[in-house]
């Protein structure tokens, strides 16, 4: 696959311009996924509100739909996590490319080039963790959208039962 999905290119042969373009693409994809998550979260809320006052069968259908939406939100959240890691790696790669001369003088550049692809990507990610705290961004995304994680396993999963309970409580209040 190659470093960062660049085919057979190595850290030595990738330009900062190529890395920057890939980082911009990853940033754009993150924004699209955030918008998707917000839309799905809004759909979950509308689904919940619409279930109030409905028949048991309609509530059960709404609970199933709620779980499907939660799964889609969780998938988008997982992809964002991967993109955040790739973004750190791109930042790390740009940093080492920009500091290549200094790294060559210390011998670190040669060591970076000798690393296997996975080890290099992990190293670049580790380098950037100190400079960019992405855990806070992910936490903010999760908190803002208040997403639950659910799976569809049977006709009435615990998540579906919890949804039904919440609807009933909302109807009686």
Domain membership flag for residue 81: yes
Asked if residue 121 lies in contact with residue 91, where contact means CB atoms within 8 angstroms, the answer is: no
* Count of domains forming the chain: 1
Domain membership flag for residue 4: no
Q: Which structural domain range is residue 55 located in?
A: 10-172
pTM of the model: 0.67
Average pLDDT over residues 154-172: 76
Average pLDDT over residues 122-135: 60
DSSP 3-state of 146? coil
Q: Band the pLDDT of 131: cuts 50, 70, 90.
A: very low
Residue 156 has pLDDT above 70, yes or no: no
User: What residues have CB less than 8 Å from 50, skipping those under 6 apart?
Assistant: 62
As a whole number of angstroms, the distance between CA 173 and CA 161 comes to 19
Residue 61 has pLDDT above 70, yes or no: yes
Which contiguous run of DSSP H or E holds residue 131?
none
As a whole number of angstroms, the distance between CA 150 and CA 134 comes to 24
Domain membership flag for residue 36: yes
Domain membership flag for residue 148: yes
As a whole number of angstroms, the distance between CA 136 and CA 50 comes to 33
Domain membership flag for residue 115: yes
User: What residues have CB less than 8 Å from 171, skipping those under 6 apart?
Assistant: 52, 53
DSSP 3-state of 116? coil
Asked if residue 59 lies in contact with residue 161, where contact means CB atoms within 8 angstroms, the answer is: no
Q: What is the mean pLDDT of the chain?
A: 78
């Amino acid at each position: 696959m190659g470093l960062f999905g660049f085919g057979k290119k190595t850290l030595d042969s990738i330009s900062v311009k190529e890395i920057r373009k890939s980082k911009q693409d990853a940033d754009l994809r993150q924004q699209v996924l955030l918008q998707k998550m917000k839309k799905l979260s809004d759909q979950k809320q509308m689904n919940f509100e619409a279930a109030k006052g409905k028949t048991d069968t309609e509530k059960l259908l709404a609970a199933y739909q709620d779980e499907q939406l939660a799964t889609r939100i969780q998938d988008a959240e997982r992809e964002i996590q991967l993109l955040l890691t790739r973004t750190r790696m791109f930042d790390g790669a740009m940093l080492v490319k920009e500091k290549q001369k200094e790294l060559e003088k210390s011998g670190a550049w040669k060591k970076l080039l000798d690393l296997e692809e996975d080890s290099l990507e992990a190293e670049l990610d580790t380098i950037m963790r100190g400079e960019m705290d992405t855990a806070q961004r992910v936490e903010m995304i999760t908190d803002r959208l208040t997403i639950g994680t659910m799976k569809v396993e049977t006709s009435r999963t615990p998540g579906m039962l919890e949804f039904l309970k919440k609807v009933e409580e909302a109807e009686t209040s």
